[in-house]
Amino acid sequence: MANLKGKKVVVTGGAMGIGLAVCKRLVREECDVTIWDLNQEAIETALKELSGEGGKVFGYTCDVSDKESVKELADQARQDMGQVDILINNAGFVRHGMFWEQPVENAIRQMEVNVNALFYSIHEFLPEMMERDSGHIVNVSSGVAFSSAPGLAAYTTSKWAVWGMTDVLRLEVLNAGKKGVKFTSVHPGNILSGMFEGFALNAFGTLFAPPVKDHDVIAKGIVESGLKKDRHLVVRPRRLYFSMMIRGLVPDVFMGKLALMAGLGNCVSKYKGRKGLAHSDAAAE
Q: Could you give the residue numbers annotated as active site?
A: 155
User: Are the beta carbons of 123 and 166 closer than 8 angstroms?
Assistant: no
| DSSP element (H, E) containing 234 | strand 233-236
Give the whole-angstrom CA distance, residue 253 versus residue 233: 27
| d(C-alpha 259, C-alpha 25), whole Å | 35
Q: How far apart are CA 207 and CA 56, in angstroms?
A: 42
- Of residues 2, 20, 17, the one with CA closest to residue 57: 20
DSSP labels for 146-181? Answer: TS--TT-HHHHHHHHHHHHHHHHHHHHHHHTT-TTE
The CA-based angle 146-147-150, given to 5 degrees, is 140
Can you say how many angstroms the Cα of residue 122 is from the centroid of all Cα atoms in its chain? Answer: 13
d(CA 15, CA 34): 10
For residues 26-48, b (16+ Cβ closer than 10 Å) or e, as one string? Answer: bbebebbbbbbbbbeebbeebbe
For residue 61, which phi and psi values (nearest 5 degrees)? -70, 125
- Alpha-carbon gap, residue 93 to 105, rounded angstroms: 12
Residue 282 Cα to chain centre, angstroms:
13
